[in-house]
Structure 1
Amino acid sequence: MTSFFGSVFWLLVTLGVLVTFHEFGHYWVARRCGVKVLRFSVGFGKAVWKRIGRDGCEYQIAAIPLGGYVKMLDAREGVVPPQLQAQEFTAQPVWKRILIVLAGPGFNLIFTVAALWLMFMLGRPDAAPIVTAKPQSMAAVAGVQPGDRILSIDGRAVATWSDSLDAVANALLDRTPLPLTVRDPDGTQRQLLLPLDRLPPDQPIDRYLTTLGLELAPPRPVAATVLAGKPAALAGMQGGDRILSIDGKPVPDYEAVGKLVRQDAAVSPKLAIVVERNGRTIPLEVVARYESLQGQPAEWVIGISAPPLEAATLRYGPLRALHEALAGTWRNVTQTFGMIGKMLTGEASTKNLSSVIGIAQTANDMAHMGLAWFLQFLAMVSLSLAVLNLLPIPVLDGGHLLYYLIELVKGSPLSEQAMAIGQYIGLVLLFSLMGLVFYNDIHRLLLS
């Protein structure tokens, strides 16, 4: 329940910030173009708060927070007094109307750059791209070995696990062979090729990732801390000891420690554990306990904790951060339009789309990971809103933009009947898209 309310809260924060910025773009440019703005609304439906500004504009927050709008003086919606004719929207030259329509998505792109710039300067804490591959997976067959550090993907250097995962996820949509440069723990660099062209078409990205089998490597098998009074401490284990074997079975990583303790202790709680300390091999006899720790379900434990993963903070100075923010925004814009194109042609699955349910869950997760992560999340959602609104679908900004471009070509506005038909088509397309993304999220929730 706490997760539910957290998701709702951070969804409202996300939509409140991004919708306000989007609508402010329309408002600000409309005012600069001499158009009278009657209402600036964050949300739809009945107003829960409103006031009239000195400029006569009504500012309000409405009850349904899934969007917003800017209502301008428009002759199509009622009689316009003669003294206000010059401030009426449809009386403006077509180039001004185009600027007003483009301002919303444009301000979303500005917000994206600003949020990424601030994120890069604050520094986004992350893990180093030290990976492993599931046995028999595509990554394992391609040559990825436990402890490999990814240096570059398709020629672009990567410094963190998240950037590596993003680059791989985007490449999975193309399903073309992906070159990797990795360095093993001994310092030897190798060139690998992931044969993504062998993946079947029209699959969700999470299924592709499962088939690929590329994962963040678990921590080393080291007892970072040994809890006083617990079995490991009583047997003489010390913090920093490297666990070599449990009951004669080798321990390649910390994940194997827990697995072997649970497996062997279920047969006999008395475990023969060999550790390495200061270059010496030390055998220990540890008697595991079946107990619950910190409210978790009871299991066999010996009272040690894992070492942290190698950290890799992504941080730049102001100028480099601005360059990276601009480059990242452009890269994500092209990738988003590319993904839309692939969905239209059937090369990418529409199961990758998410609704406000998915956005709410991700917003809650990112907020708990820290300000830098939440800023990156806001940037990506803002960019998605910009791209979505630029699609040539009537009722969206892109649909209005299409009308005005047609007007530029033919020299006169479209008829009201043509625009009305376009609005109906747009509503059908929009509600179909909304139904699809809600279905995707509900389906994911039922399967999780």
Structure 2
Amino acid sequence: MTSFFGSVFWLLVTLGVLVTFHEFGHYWVARRCGVKVLRFSVGFGNAIWKRIGRDGTEYQIAAIPLGGYVKMLDAREGEVDPALQSQEFTGKSVWKRIAIIAAGPGFNLIFTVAAFWLMFMLGRPDAAPLVTATPQSIAARAGIQPGDRILRVDGEEVGTYTDAMDGVVNALLGRSPLPLTVRGTNGRQRELVLPLDELPPGEGVASYLDQLGLKLASSPAIADHVLPGKPASLGGMQDGDRIVSINGQPVNDYATFQKLVPIEAAKSAHLKLAIERGGKPLELAVDARHESIEGQPVTWIIGVNGPGPEQVTLRYGPLKAFSASLDATWRNTAQTFNLIGKMISGQASTNNLSGVIGIASVANQSASMGLPWFLNFLALVSLSLAILNLLPIPVLDGGHLLYYLVELVKGSPVSEQTMVIGQYIGIALLFTLMGLAFYNDIHRMLPS
């Protein structure tokens, strides 16, 4: 499946699952509150499948799979049969209407906890938090050394590279100094501070990460697997050999080895490799080949695979997984509100917003990494939908909840004129956010 069609497919899967769950929340609570549901639709536009349930609700799948809705019996949309008056939405108490509207985001929150719980039960493979720093970067000046293991970010323990970088990215938004606890390759712990206040204001997270220069440490330059019949094997290299230099150029890690092979082979295909085997130095002569492996672009190769980064897997039993899922939900909720607050105050750039294109790309990437990572992605998107829908913007669930809170305070419903004005304002705000997110997605795809 190509990247484009894979992105489209997994976007549709994501929206289909999360929107259906969101709308089911409205539907389920509405039925419990005695409100008649006329239609439950997954998608918008013309129906491509529908049926009438025994409860009289029309269930359908529509042609445009970018959302969904629940249509309830509502006096504001036309006359109501007197026999059905008791099942009409606006006639219910304000507390029941609040429960019905809040149920959509509430079910997204339930889905988030459940997805995280299942992810922790299955086990999410990840790289260990072993890092390095690009030369002259902020991280390098702060004292990050190759192979440092991050133990704590701002006092919070981290066990994986992803968790460590999540903490760093959250701190980047505020551009304030970030304490780190690391353990070096010599086993000693050190306390460092990343001076994020040196970063210029108003830029996106991607730009900040480049300037920070904190990266996953490369694997050691060890021949984890020498491919049979390839130049390295023919030249005498064996699994476990440590590569010291190529044509006299020192090799500090596997990433350096990968860069040097095509550079030196372009000068001459005859390479001299200095290696260590069992602690003893050896020299090998290897004739590189100009070819492609596994669909990759044609380049100079000698046929050696590196060991890859150290792997860790977050896997817990049912009770521990549930506790971890609650913690992950709370932590990501706090980070999301932190981002929203900083964008509103101007401390964080709106360049950090992503739209449908960005979501589709990440959906495809996470799905290709396996079910646990896709569950992690679904949990994060579901949480974002819950928070977005609770924002006090008319046309969103949060806007309706705001009207009902006003009704509780003043003792009577908000006027229809006020609601109409609010709808126009809400639509304008929503389209502005969508347009900005779409612009950011397109801008990220353009060459810099």
TM norm structure 1: 0.98
Helix, strand or coil: the match of 1:69?
strand
Alignment partner, residue 239 of structure 2? 239
Q: Give the alignment of 1:400-419 within 5 angstroms.
A: 400-419=400-419
User: Alignment partner of 2:125: what SS?
Assistant: coil
**Matches of 1:10 and 1:297 in 2, distance apart?**
27
Q: State how far apart, in whole Å, the 1-side matches of 2:63 and 2:293 are.
A: 44
Letter in 2 for 1:287: D
Q: Could you tell me how far 1:310 is from its partner in structure 2?
A: 0.8
Residue type of the alignment partner of 1:69: Y
Tell me what 1:84 maps to: 84
More displaced 10-residue stretch of structure 1: 179-188 or 105-114:
179-188
Residues 338-365 of structure 1 show CA distances to partners (whole Å, capped at 9, x for unaligned) of: 2111111111111111111111111111
Distance 1:294 1:34 in 2: 60
- In structure 2, distance between residues paired with 1:446 and 1:251: 34
Q: Which residue of structure 2 lines up, in the alignment, with residue 225 of structure 1?
A: 225
Consecutive unaligned residues of structure 2, counting only runs of 5 or more, are none
Structure 1 residues 287-302: aligned runs within 5 Å: 287-302=287-302
SS of aligned partner of 1:271: strand
Which residue of 2 is the match for residue 372 of structure 1? 372
Match of 2:343 in 1: 343
Q: Distance in 2 between matches of 1:6 and 1:324?
A: 30
1:221-275 deviations in Å (ceiling 9; x for gaps): 0111112222211221101100111222221001111222222222222222111
Note the 1:28-43 alignment, pairs <5 A: 28-43=28-43
Counterpart Cα distance in 1 of 2:235 and 2:443: 49
Q: Distance in 2 between matches of 1:385 and 1:139?
A: 34
SS in 2 for 1:312: strand
Tell me, what secondary structure is at the counterpart of 2:312? coil
Q: Secondary structure at the match of 1:266?
A: helix
In 2, the alpha carbon distance for the partners of 1:244 and 1:282 equals 10
Q: Secondary structure at the match of 1:172?
A: helix
- Structure 2 match to 1:399: 399
1:275 is matched with which residue? 275
Matched residue, 2:181: 181
Match of 1:316 in 2: 316
Q: Which amino acid aligns with 1:304?
A: V
Match of 2:193 in 1: 193
Question: SS at 1:313's partner residue?
Answer: strand
| Residue 447 of structure 1: how far off its partner (Å) | 2.8
Percent pairwise identity: 71
Counterpart of 1:250?
Answer: 250
Distance (whole Å) between structure 2 residues aligned to residue 83 and residue 348 of structure 1: 54
Distance in 2, Cα, partners of 1:253 & 1:326? 39
Amino acid corresponding to residue 174 of structure 2 in structure 1: D
Q: Secondary structure at the match of 1:91?
A: coil
Q: CA deviation at 1:85?
A: 1.1
- The residue aligned with 1:75 is 75
| Residues in 2 aligned to 1:78 and 1:244: alpha-carbon distance in whole angstroms | 80
What is the distance in 1 between the residues matched to 2:193 and 2:258? 33
Query: Counterpart in 1 of 2:206?
Result: 206
Distance in 2, matches of 1:391 and 1:296, equals 46
Quote the offset at 1:288 in angstroms. 1.9
**What corresponds to 1:356 in structure 2?**
356
Letter in 2 for 1:190: R
Structure 2 counterpart SS, 1:219: coil
Alignment partner, residue 154 of structure 2: 154
- Give SS of 1:282's match: strand
Amino acid at match of 1:83: A
Please report how far the alpha carbon of residue 210 of structure 1 lies from its aligned counterpart in structure 2 after TM superposition: 0.4
3-state SS of paired residue (2:42): strand
Name the structure 2 match of 1:99.
99
**1:2 and 2:2 are equivalent in the alignment:** yes
User: 2:428 matched to which residue of 1?
Assistant: 428
C-alpha separation between the residues in 2 aligned to 1:412 and 1:436?
37
Tell me the alpha carbon deviations over residues 187-238 of structure 1, each in whole angstroms, 9 at most, x when there is no partner: 1111110011111112111001000000001111011111222221122110
1:94-141 residue CA offsets vs partner (Å, 9 max, x unmatched): 011011110000000000000000001100011111111000000000
Could you say which residue in structure 2 is the equivalent of 1:44? 44
Instruction: Give the whole-Å Cα distance in 1 for the aligned partners of 2:194 and 2:38.
Output: 56
**Partner residue, 2:60:** 60
Question: 2:130 corresponds to which residue?
Answer: 130
In structure 2, C-alpha distance between the alignment counterparts of 1:57 and 1:229, rounded to whole Å: 66
Q: What's the CA shift string for 1:393-440, capped at 9, x where partnerless?
A: 100000000000000011000111111111111111111111111111
Tell me how far apart the structure 1 counterparts of residues 110 and 304 of structure 2 sit (CA, whole Å): 48
Which range is displaced more, 226-235 or 24-33? Answer: 226-235
Shift of 1:296: 2.8
CA distance in 2, matches of 1:107, 1:297: 46
CA offset at residue 14 of structure 1? Answer: 0.3
Name the counterpart of 1:166: 166
Query: Secondary structure at the residue paired with 1:218?
Result: coil
Structure 1: gaps of 5 or more residues: none
Q: C-alpha distance in 1, partners of 2:189/2:440?
A: 41
Partner SS for 1:126 = strand
The residue matched to 1:293 in structure 2 has which SS? coil
Q: SS at 2:395's partner residue?
A: coil
Q: How far is 1:308 from its partner?
A: 2.1
Structure-1 separation of matches of 2:295 and 2:112: 41
Instruction: Name the CA distance, whole Å, in 2 between partners of 1:297 and 1:34.
Output: 63
RMSD, matched Cα: 1.1
User: If the length of structure 2 is used for normalisation, what is the TM-score?
Assistant: 0.98
